[in-house]
């Protein structure tokens, strides 16, 4: 049975990956290493994944066909109810965290086992596709691929969590493990206050030895995330002295709001653009005599005249850093620049807390090594760390500093997430599930624990 499983696994990676390609074309997988001998429980886990793949595909289609755009609160709850039933059937104690306090649907939390090293598994129930989107249904494109809203971001990852746990239960290993699953309902558009919206996830991390996120990551099965850059928003507001344009730069008028904003933005670029993994981008800019900004929707209006010195300027932007230290240094630099305005202007900078960075740590690299070993032992080839520039922020970042080890990006891979072409490579569903299940078994204290 294990030989047939290995043959199937090798076949998965022997063909070009339709939806797991890197930029520029499909991934050509590295030749897999010779599989190591698996113990009896591990062979049973692999067999259970193969036997349950049809059920996993059916579950994936079912939840993709439920609209769960973040603001469709009923839809998010419905997806949560489907996955809650799956976890209930596996003996988890489940509960729904109501999201009324942060204006979202809420979160699914499931716990099982008391003894052993607790593992935190992270998914999310929502997608970017609201009920108004024309992209609503699961569509099978071939035996190898399917398209659908949220199929890789991240309903495929949620299914991998469930199916890996099913396989561990079938092999008799789940009873020896301590696992918490948190599936948030607002990853794509977090509720506010953010501290309240992520309280359940943060609480679940206390006491866990590892946090593992099942996002689709970089869309390449040869890599996983040991680091993720955070996502922080900033707003620059500038005021100047209005006057006739013929008087600009006069000692009692100054340069006006737009020139001051330009000074600030250019100083940001000059002082910060050379740092590895640090990016900052002004996304919306409005200036003139009168400005109205609809901040939540990143839009607004501005009015002015060519013969009037601008009185107001507002700029909204994005800031991404790979570590808390890098983020704090960038904040301090930006504030220093803003604190030196041109004469007769005033600049104010508001930097809002967002998704924190997931810094690369030795513990994260150690967890990747365990995942890499599981992949090699399954005959599925090596897994390396992805460049943090290729991935965005994710929920694992909220807990990465609370656990000894963290890893993300091991969900169902594909392409074009967040678009109406979002496509999954279904050939990778059993392979990714086997990798995850073997990692959990060994990390949770299995007989072949490699720590």
The DSSP line for 64-121 is: HTS--BTT-HHHHHHHHHHHHHHHHHTT-EEEEEE-GGGTS-EEEEEEE-SSS-EEEE
What pTM was computed for the model? 0.86
The reported pLDDT for the residue numbered 170 is 98
Q: d(Cα 145, Cα 414) in Å, to the nearest integer?
A: 9
Structural domain range at position 279: 231-355
Q: Are 220 and 20 in contact (CB under 8 A)?
A: yes
Please indicate, yes or no, if residue 118 is contained in any of the structural domains: yes
pLDDT, tens digit, 9 for 90 and up, residues 337-383: 999 999 999 999 999 988 999 999 999 999 999 999 999 999 999 99
Answer whether 349's CB lies under 8 Å from 235's CB.
Answer: yes
**Phi and psi torsions of 98, nearest 5°:** -65, 140
Claim to verify: residue 337 and residue 254 sit in the same structural domain? yes
Q: Work out the pLDDT band at 5, boundaries 50, 70, 90.
A: very low
Helix or strand holding residue 267 (H, E): helix 256-272
Does 28 score more than 50 pLDDT?
Answer: no
* Residue 22 and residue 121 share a domain: yes
- Residue 295, classed as helix, strand or coil, is helix
- Asked whether the predicted pLDDT for residue 449 surpasses 80, the reply is no
Question: Residues 23, 58: one domain?
Answer: yes
Domain match, 97 and 205 both:
yes
d(CA 219, CA 27): 9
* Total structural domains within the chain: 2
pLDDT tens profile 136-154:
999 999 999 999 999 999 9
Separation of alpha carbons 268 and 379, rounded Å: 48
Both 208 and 258 in a single domain?
Answer: no
Query: Alpha-carbon distance 90 to 63, whole Å?
Result: 18
SS3 (DSSP) at 282: strand
Shared-domain flag, residues 193 and 118: yes
Whole-number percent of the chain with pLDDT over 90: 86
Residue 449 within a domain? no
Residue 120 pLDDT: 98
Averaged pLDDT, 249-269: 97
If you average pLDDT over residues 174-185, what whole number do you get? 97
375 and 342 in a common domain: no
Is a pLDDT exceeding 50 seen at residue 240? yes
Tell whether 70 and 176 lie within a shared domain: yes
Residue 20 located in a structural domain: yes
Q: For residue 436, what is the enclosing H or E element?
A: helix 428-443
Q: Is the dihedral of CA 70, 87, 180, 224 positive or negative?
A: negative
CATH number at residue 417: 3.40.630.10
At residue 35, the pLDDT reads 56
């Amino acid at each position: 049975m294990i030989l047939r499983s290995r043959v199937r696994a090798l076949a998965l990676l022997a063909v070009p990956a339709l939806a797991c390609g890197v930029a520029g074309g499909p991934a050509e997988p590295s030749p897999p290493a010779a599989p190591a001998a698996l113990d009896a429980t591990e062979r049973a886990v692999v067999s259970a994944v193969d036997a349950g793949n049809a059920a996993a595909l059916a579950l994936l289609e079912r939840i993709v066909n439920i609209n769960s755009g973040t603001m469709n609160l009923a839809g998010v709850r419905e997806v949560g109810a489907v996955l809650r039933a799956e976890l209930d059937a596996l003996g988890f104690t489940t509960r729904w965290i109501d999201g009324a306090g942060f204006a979202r649907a809420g979160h699914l939390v499931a716990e099982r086992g008391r003894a052993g090293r607790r593992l935190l598994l992270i998914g999310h129930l929502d997608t970017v596709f609201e009920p108004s989107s024309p992209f609503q249904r699961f569509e099978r494109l071939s035996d190898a691929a399917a398209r659908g809203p949220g199929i890789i971001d991240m309903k495929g990852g949620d299914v991998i969590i469930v199916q890996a746990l099913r396989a561990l239960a079938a092999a008799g290993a789940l009873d020896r493990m301590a696992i918490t699953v948190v599936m948030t309902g607002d990853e794509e558009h977090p509720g506010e206050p953010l501290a309240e919206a992520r309280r359940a996830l943060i609480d679940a991390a206390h006491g866990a030895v590892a946090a593992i996120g099942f996002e689709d990551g970089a869309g390449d099965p040869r890599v996983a995330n040991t680091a993720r850059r955070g996502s922080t928003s900033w707003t620059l507001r500038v005021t100047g002295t209005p006057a006739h344009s013929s008087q600009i730069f006069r000692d009692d008028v100054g340069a006006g709001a737009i020139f001051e904003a330009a000074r600030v933005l250019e100083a940001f670029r000059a002082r910060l653009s050379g740092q590895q993994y640090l990016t900052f981008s002004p996304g919306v800019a409005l200036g003139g005599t009168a400005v109205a900004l609809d901040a939540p929707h990143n839009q607004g209006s501005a009015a002015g005249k060519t013969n009037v010195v601008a009185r107001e300027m507002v700029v909204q932007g994005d800031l991404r850093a790979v570590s808390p230290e890098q983020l704090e240094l960038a904040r301090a630099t930006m504030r220093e620049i803003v604190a030196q305005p041109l004469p007769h202007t005033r600049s104010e900078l508001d930097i809002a807390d967002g998704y924190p960075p997931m810094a690369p740590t030795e513990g994260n690299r150690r967890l990747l090594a365990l995942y890499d070993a599981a992949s090699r032992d399954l005959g599925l080839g090596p897994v390396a760390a992805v460049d943090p520039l290729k991935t965005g922020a994710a929920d694992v970042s909220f807990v990465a500093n609370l656990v000894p080890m963290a890893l993300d990006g091991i969900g169902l891979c594909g392409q074009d997430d967040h678009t109406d072409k979002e496509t999954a490579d279904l050939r990778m569903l059993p392979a990714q599930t086997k990798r995850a299940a073997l990692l959990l078994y060994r990390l949770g204290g299995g007989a072949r624990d490699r720590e």
